[in-house]
Amino acid sequence: MQVAVTSNKKHFLTIGSWSQKEIKHVLAKAHELKAMQKSGIIQQDLKGKILGMIFEKSSTRTRVSFEAGMLQLGGDAIHLKSDDLQLGRGESIEDTAKVLSQYVDVLMIRTYGHEIIERFAASADIPVINGLTDEHHPTQVMADLLTIEEYKGDLSNVKVAYIGDGNNMAHSFIEAAAKVGMELAIATPPGYEPNKTIMQEVLQEAKQTGATITITNDPTQAVVDADVIVTDVWASMGQEEQQQERLQTFAAFQVNETLCSFAKSDYIFMHCLPAHREEEVTTSIIDGPHSVVFEEAQNRLHIQKAILHYVLNYK
């Protein structure tokens, strides 16, 4: 179910909902904020602003990066588990959104179905940011774009190979590629391809930006001449009962030395973490010289700050 989001606030629910100009603006701001922090300068221009964070799914990087980022920008953050809210006792999403809009200035939600966050945004009078849903993970992929720019420069000259499940990460990478003109090759086992509707929605924009997006069931084909190799866990939160089945299904999609040998010699390896070593990626790769996973994790902080800065100053 698609919910019409009519608020005049600048939400960040998917990468596809932002223009190329907005994405580039936020990436540039993240680079600026990171450079300032490394120089010992903290831009505290969100003083008096409060970030509310609702977690229906647990998190390490999302919670700490948003909370620390808001504090560094001079604001404050409130962590709310769904069990702590009246949502857990049957209050509607719409009523909760209207009430919280009177207490905080921006709301970040990490939840399950994407329609949940759309309903929040449709009823909220404040910006709503998607910290993760089952269908999209835009803040993570924005951090990934930031990392790729740092190591590889112009995104339109980069080939990214995404290996594994056609999940929320794959969906956000597809939307990102279409926006920035990137070459993206996604390799999944048969039956685990990305959502066809999302693919159809971005194909026209991909033509306009020069992006190339291919879906294959052959991981080697996807990795050939890649500048960046990305993977994710094979069983995401809520799929634990499928773990053993997926271990067998995805075995040929492990990112290892053999697979990576088909990429460019200076490729970088990325993973949104947490990683299941020796499942989707071998220890030799994630701890190897091509891995940038911890710089990628650090960039969650800088991109969250840039996103917060943008949605709270949007006119």
Q: Where are the domains of the chain?
A: 15-136+298-313, 140-296
The set of residues, in sequence order, having a beta carbon less than 8 Å from that of 186 and lying 6+ positions away, is 161, 162, 163, 166, 170, 173, 174, 193, 194, 213, 214, 215, 216, 222
Is pLDDT above 90 for 240? no
Catalytic residue among 271, 300, 302, 309: 300
Query: Binding residue per annotation — 282?
Result: no
**pLDDT, tens digit (0-9, with 9 covering 90-100), for 262-292:** 999 999 999 999 999 999 999 999 999 999 9
- Both tokens of 313, joined, read 């100053």
Q: Closest Cα partner for 232 from 168, 183, 139?
A: 168
Euclidean distance between the first and final Cα of the chain, in Å?
29
For domain 15-136+298-313, give its CATH number from 3.30.70.270, 3.40.47.10, 3.30.1370.10, 3.40.50.1370: 3.40.50.1370
Averaged pLDDT for residues 52-78: 96
Q: Is there a common fold for 15-136+298-313 and 140-296?
A: yes
Catalytic residue among 140, 165, 254, 302: 140
pLDDT for the residue numbered 8: 66
Query: Binding residue per annotation — 260?
Result: no
Q: Closest Cα partner for 263 from 163, 189, 116, 188?
A: 163
| pLDDT bracket for residue 203 (50, 70, 90) | confident
Question: Mean pLDDT across the chain, nearest whole number?
Answer: 94
Catalytic residue among 11, 72, 105, 110: 110
Averaged pLDDT for residues 186-212: 94
pLDDT for the residue numbered 17: 96
Is pLDDT above 80 for 56? yes
pLDDT for the residue numbered 1: 43
Catalytic residue among 165, 232, 246, 309: 232
Query: Binding residue per annotation — 214?
Result: no
pLDDT for the residue numbered 43: 84
Query: Binding residue per annotation — 61?
Result: yes
Query: Binding residue per annotation — 139?
Result: yes
Which of 54-58, 127-131, 163-167, 254-258 is least confident?
54-58
The reply to whether 105 belongs to the active site is no
The reply to whether 272 belongs to the active site is yes
Averaged pLDDT for residues 281-305: 98
Query: Binding residue per annotation — 199?
Result: no
Is pLDDT above 90 for 159? yes
**pLDDT, tens digit (0-9, with 9 covering 90-100), for 66-88:** 999 999 999 999 998 877 777 65
Averaged pLDDT for residues 220-224: 98
CATH number of 140-296: 3.40.50.1370
Averaged pLDDT for residues 21-26: 97
**pLDDT, tens digit (0-9, with 9 covering 90-100), for 86-117:** 765 678 899 999 999 999 999 999 999 999 99
Higher pLDDT, 58 or 15: 15
pLDDT for the residue numbered 54: 95
pTM of the model: 0.95
- The Cα–Cα gap between 253 and 189 comes to 8
Averaged pLDDT for residues 168-172: 98
The reply to whether 140 belongs to the active site is yes
HEC assignment per residue over the chain: CCCCCCCCCCCECCHHHCCHHHHHHHHHHHHHHHHHHHCCCCCCCCCCCEEEEEECCCCCHHHHHHHHHHHHCCCEEEEEEHHHCHHHHCCCHHHHHHHHCCCCCEEEEECCCHHHHHHHHHHCCCCEEEEECCCCCHHHHHHHHHHHHHHHCCHHHCEEEEECCCCHHHHHHHHHHHHHCCEEEEECCCCCCCCHHHHHHHHHHHHHHCCEEEEECCHHHHHCCCCEEEECCCCCCCCHHHHHHHHHHCHHHCECHHHHCCCCCCCEEEECCCCCECCCECHHHHCCCCECHHHHHHHHHHHHHHHHHHHHHCC
Catalytic residue among 136, 137, 171, 246: 137
pLDDT for the residue numbered 237: 67
pLDDT for the residue numbered 239: 72
Query: Binding residue per annotation — 156?
Result: no
Averaged pLDDT for residues 234-258: 89
Averaged pLDDT for residues 300-305: 98
